[in-house]
Amino acid sequence: MSKPHTPIWFDIDGTLVHTRVGKDAFREALEEVFGWKDDFKEVRFAGNTDLCVLMDFSEKYAGDRDVVLSQASVFFECMAVKLDEGLVNAKPDIIPGAPEFLAALSQHDHLGLYLLTGNARECAFHKLRHADLHHLFEEGGFGDDHADRNILAQQTRERVSRTFEHADQGWVIGDTPRDIQAAHTIGAQAIGVASGAYSEEELSAAGAALVVEDLRDVDALLEFLK
């Protein structure tokens, strides 16, 4: 008989870590690959996907969101290199409690840890590797797979369902209303972490089942997940 499986999807930025060099890596790659210079004053990365941001720039500078798609893989490879270089000297700031919470979750065989992030795959694992959290994750939905975060959630949910016969709806843990919306799209519940750009009130209003300041109260979080 197949064992029950509860998937838990984690956002990265603002949920597990803060990084200071991600925007710089995006800016440098944008100029190197496409020749577009931008001050990034109108760009909001929180809750967005890297592919959606890139397509927004494509619409702004080329008049067509799809122009960048043929070179998207080149762009993300370039950005990942620049991000990795930047993180050498500017290590991510780890959200309080994140390592302990992830370690506790990993001790439960019925729980599966996945990513649901707007970061392109290689960038996601660079951030986690520099925070020494990469070994806890293998799969998920990434910001270079699709521009729409809700579709990313559906895709990774479908993969989990194909792998585990008795996977329940699970949880999404993130710091933006878009994380919570993605959870609801796949029938999952959401925990909001108010350590990013959005307040506890905003995350509650978006429909989070629980909102926490950070991940330090591991015992209370584990109890809630039960």
CATH at 97: 3.40.50.1000
| Per-residue tokens: 75 | 């762009």
Of the residues 89, 111, 139, the one at which a domain ends:
89
Question: Are residues 184 and 85 part of one domain?
Answer: no
Question: Are residues 101 and 152 part of one domain?
Answer: yes
- 35-78 pLDDT, tens digit per residue, is 999 999 888 888 899 999 999 999 999 999 999 999 999 999 99
pLDDT at 2: 65
Looking at residues 161-186, what average pLDDT do you find? Answer: 95
> Is residue 175 one of the residues assigned to a domain?
yes
Higher-confidence position of 166 and 131: 131
Looking at residues 208-216, what average pLDDT do you find? Answer: 98
> Is residue 1 one of the residues assigned to a domain?
no
Say if residue 3's pLDDT is above 90: no
Question: Are residues 181 and 156 part of one domain?
Answer: yes
> What is the C-alpha separation between 192 and 138, in angstroms, rounded?
22
The count of structural domains within the chain is: 2
> What is the C-alpha separation between 151 and 149, in angstroms, rounded?
5
Question: Are residues 157 and 48 part of one domain?
Answer: no
> What is the C-alpha separation between 78 and 9, in angstroms, rounded?
27
Instruction: Spell out the residues 6+ positions from residue 64 whose beta carbon is closer than 8 angstroms to its own.
Output: 58
Question: Are residues 136 and 58 part of one domain?
Answer: no
Instruction: Spell out the residues 6+ positions from residue 220 whose beta carbon is closer than 8 angstroms to its own.
Output: none
Question: Are residues 193 and 81 part of one domain?
Answer: no
pLDDT at 226: 83
> Is residue 106 one of the residues assigned to a domain?
yes
Q: Can you give the residue range of the structural domain that contains 138?
A: 6-19+92-225
pTM comes to 0.95
Question: Are residues 143 and 59 part of one domain?
Answer: no
> Is residue 74 one of the residues assigned to a domain?
yes
Least-confidence region, from 23-37, 83-97, 156-170: 156-170
> Is residue 33 one of the residues assigned to a domain?
yes
pLDDT at 1: 41
Question: Are residues 121 and 165 part of one domain?
Answer: yes
Say if residue 225's pLDDT is above 80: yes
